Structure 1
Amino acid sequence: MDDVEREFVKLYAIEAKTFPEIERALGCDRKRVQDLFDSSKSERDDIAKLKALYSRKQYQQRVSFQKFLEYYNGLERVCFYCGITEAEIKQLSERRKIYTKRSKNRGRSLELERIEPNESYDNLENLRLACFWCNNAKSDEFTAEEFRPIANEIGDALRARLSGGQNPKAPNA
């Protein structure tokens, strides 16, 4: 993605500018703006998901979306607890090594987790990325330190699946 494409996504998806406003800001015609719109679907979808999360967790009471987005984009794409990466989760999904029935989306990417469960969601320093399994197992019951040994076992089990281990609950196992 080049600088113009990044600026388009910022103007359209983050700042909610109209096409005429974007044309003026970028100094280009409608066809170019439409092409940028068409080619940025994935990025726009990602930002829309983050905006929905931002709204659902009511971050806007204390944190701007821009600040939240910068913080989120700065997080390393790895589970804070077990160390599984987003790329490994994607591989698990592609290889059909995860079988959660919870949702079409959960278990397919990292989720925002509060390290200290009694802190509010708008305390960005308390937020980290966690895999679905660690996020659910830790819940709001355990501290990060209490949960660490459990997380290590979760990470080991997930990595074993990646290296050829079979999920005993898998269909046709």
Structure 2
Amino acid sequence: MGNLIKCPMCDKDISPNAISCPHCGEPMKLQQEKEVQVIENPTSYNLILESTSQAIKAIKLIREVTNLGLKEAKDITDKMPCTFMFNLDIAKANSIVSRFKDIGAVVTILGDNNTFVKPTYVAKDNLIKCSNCKSVNCNKISGLSKAGSVGLWGIFSVGKLNKTWECKSCGYRW
């Protein structure tokens, strides 16, 4: 019991090796994927936007190629160098690189034998997470929903009245 730490969210004792708090679901540290074994001939490639002289044209091309929104495409151009496409075959990667070269952008191709470990989960301060299935697909149970439940089911709806959140993935309420 001497090596337990306090959860920053609920102040309960938890293991220092815990990925998330078992009581409130607060993430403790990033989970990381295991490194992929190095392959001699890469089978998939990633594209990295190094620099561009025409940011607006680069944003338009990023949106066209990746189907991202305006904000995400702008974030890519603001945070150069940035990897913006993953797991492409060499023919598609070369065609996309040539399109970027036409507008004056520098894009490099990185084979999957040079991949890095990237976080699979990014912790946010205001993240609500289901303690049952660890999903972030959660909604707050509204007062109108609680009142409708009482009107329809009466005393049998008491289980919903004292709950605040509901997971849309597994249906768990807490």
TM range (shorter): under 0.3
Say which structure is richer in strand.
Answer: 2
Higher Rg: 2
- Normalising by structure 2, what TM-score? 0.22
Select the structure with the greater relative contact order (CA < 8 A; seq sep ≥ 6): 2
- Normalising by structure 1, what TM-score? 0.22
